[in-house]
A and B are shown apart, each in its own frame.
Chain A
């Protein structure tokens, strides 16, 4: 007898069906994963099970918990959510009340469940999710992302639920924290014999946690089966594509890396003034601390590190968006300190942003956005500008007609291609790529990386990739720098560095890598 039985679930908004005719069952204590990309309807499915669908959603089909259909009244549903179903959301910062201490929030979750000895249980729950007692006294903003997600899990556990729904619980966390939270969820589920409905786009995370998986694509359930079978021998074409995309095998292309130095960074430091009064100001925060390295012409250098280690700040100074507090950089032998980068040099370097949705002005056509960097090149006639734009768009495998369209008409993967096209219009030498694929769906990541690697060869580009994704770095980079708390602590070729890491952080990063599926 399954604990959760979903049959024929269909969710529609007006005339558009977002989830169509989905059926699956989760047994007591079973760990079930739903895999899907953005827009596949996986989150709406989980919200339907928790009875939290937004207004205006039309639902048909049945959802049964222990053979009983979900109650229709919101009040009964709320009680059920409190007692039988726990939920963990993607973004722990917005899911916690910023004005309440952690203890109070967990206590509230226990009390709502009708338990009067709430205060007694809080320390146990904190311990169970691997937090210390002192963390309970803090407010959410005083905790790190991983700690906040642990608090969310503690609150979900407060009611001793039979089913835990976790919707992308780790995608906002960095690599090391992600692994720790995944391990924690796995451990708690087996200890409490609690069923898990794990929703994610990350095949490796699902493979780590779940025994059975379902693959969703455009609102439909494509494939269901035991995790090992689905990953080892996927039957459907879409699943095969996903499984293939979860591995990066580009590596080893014959590019000429010259010995000439294109960019050298000499002891760059960036300090931020922290709060405090005029005279007794606190010690400034050092985001980047004496960074030194050189990028050779034609190479692909990767900068890895946990979130908050200063890698994005460093990238901003290199491209000239921020100014270094001390130290200097040299691009093609010309010294600069960040925002004083001479505009003649600006066109030799460009930046590709992480989030393809924020990197285009929604009110400008793609052509207008792409043409913007061409202001750096003086004396281009209108038809030359047009030719450059067409050249750039075609280089990333898109059609010149798209220049007249607006950003919202494109998917995330296409936008990222267009962002790369914008970075190419000035025919730069150095491309700085800030997490170029981490905001993209798994199935298009491979395509974008293949594109980047082809472009590097075709246009003799030099790449500086900033990322926390070691698999991607291993596939792309010739050389890797590891950054921790503003300092560069280790350097080496990826295969050698990941096989024998010297520093503790590098060892942690390597250990946190999820095993390959199948």
Chain B
């Protein structure tokens, strides 16, 4: 664990992510001002001691909005990652262990999903069940499925050639048991790294969908929705766009740093374990 934290990009990335998540969680119980408190006379204020990040076009406190919006973004991205792992990983493992027609089907299914732009799919879902955060979760989640399926399949296939998998087969384990007992635990690190990256992509995706009006709807708020509200006023009050925009950028950078750091931290560890075999 100490070795993991010695990685600068990992420490910075995880630290910054933790701060954003803490702020987002805090918004559930407390925000400096209620996010639906409209105070029109005090609108378009710059940063001040009272309103750290100023107020928006309706006089709402921007810091409170960013905190609540970050929560929506994290929640949507996290549920989408859970959907991706929950469906994609079993599919990928099944493709790797059964092979043959199962593998073909899983791969073609991922190709099929990859072939659709996410926005088109989101529009499709909107026409079916109406706009909302749930929509964004489903659309992003569906796009996470093939990503995790491929990562799981690739990792599992390289593990499946190892002798302990053959030993498991000799011991009479069936495909599902092999996947659960031998393959899944050994691709966990790959999945964690991919999960971090998909989190950051999910936050971007949520912001994008909310921006075009397909994601989160008022009175709830999200970073993408704040950008949408601010776009008409961009030339007059650029501050309104800069705050949520910067928040998105910082969160995504933090998650990407954490993801890259995790990858670096996990790789040399593997190499070190094999050092004895090489020397």
Contacts and interface: CB of A to CB of B under 8 A. Distances in A.
Contacts of A343: 172
Contacts of A40: 279
26 contacts: A38-B277, A39-B276, A40-B279, A42-B279, A43-B279, A319-B170, A321-B170, A346-B170, A346-B171, A351-B166, A351-B167, A351-B170, A353-B163, A354-B163, A355-B163, A358-B162, A358-B163, A359-B163, A361-B185, A363-B186, A364-B185, A375-B171, A375-B173, A376-B172, A408-B273, A422-B167
A354 B171 CA distance: 17
B278 interface: yes
Contacts of A354: 163
Interface of A: 38-44, 319-321, 343, 346, 350-351, 353-355, 357-364, 369, 372-376, 408, 422
A367 to B, nearest CB: 14
A372 B168 CA distance: 7
Contacts of B168: 361, 372
A309 B169 CA distance: 24
A289 to B, nearest CB: 23
A350 B172 CA distance: 11
A359 B279 contact: no
Nearest to B276: A39
Contacts of A369: 164, 167
Contacts of A357: 274, 277
Contacts of A376: 171-172
A374 to B, nearest CB: 8
B8 to A, nearest CB: 16
A253 B279 CA distance: 37
B164 A361 contact: yes
Nearest to B165: A361
Interface string B152-176: 0000000000111011111111000
Contacts of A42: 279
Nearest to A90: B278
A440 to B, nearest CB: 12
**Which of the listed residues B169, B173, B274, B279 has the most CB atoms from chain A within 10 Å of its own CB?**
B279
- Which 10 residue pairs spanning A and B have beta carbons closest together? A359-B163, A363-B185, A353-B163, A373-B171, A372-B171, A358-B163, A361-B164, A358-B162, A39-B279, A376-B172
Contacts of A422: 167
A75 to B, nearest CB: 27
B171 to A, nearest CB: 4
Given A39-B276, A361-B182, A353 B172 contact: no
Interface residues of B, number: 21
Where chain B touches its partner, the secondary structure class is helix
Nearest to B167: A359
Interface of B: 162-164, 166-173, 181-182, 185-186, 273-274, 276-279
Nearest to A347: B172
A375 B164 contact: no
Contacts of B186: 361-363
A38 B169 CA distance: 30
A362 B183 CA distance: 11
Given A38-B277, A40-B279, A321 B182 contact: no
Given A363-B185, A364-B181, A375-B172, 6 more contacts: A319-B170, A321-B170, A357-B277, A359-B162, A361-B186, A373-B170
A346 B171 CA distance: 8
Contacts of B171: 346, 372-376
Contacts of B167: 351, 353, 359, 369, 372-373, 422
Contact of B173 (A41, A359, A372): A372
Contact of A346 (B163, B172, B181): B172
A374 B166 CA distance: 15
Given A360-B164, A362-B186, A363-B186, A38 B276 contact: yes
Contacts of B274: 357
Nearest to B270: A362
A434 B169 CA distance: 16
B90 to A, nearest CB: 18
Contacts of A319: 170
A123 to B, nearest CB: 35
Given A38-B279, A357-B277, A364-B181, A350 B170 contact: yes
Contacts of B170: 319-321, 346, 350-351, 373
Nearest to B184: A363
A44 B276 CA distance: 12
A407 B167 CA distance: 15
B265 to A, nearest CB: 16
Nearest to A363: B185
Contact of A44 (B172, B181, B182, B279): B279
B274 to A, nearest CB: 8
Contacts of B166: 321, 351, 353
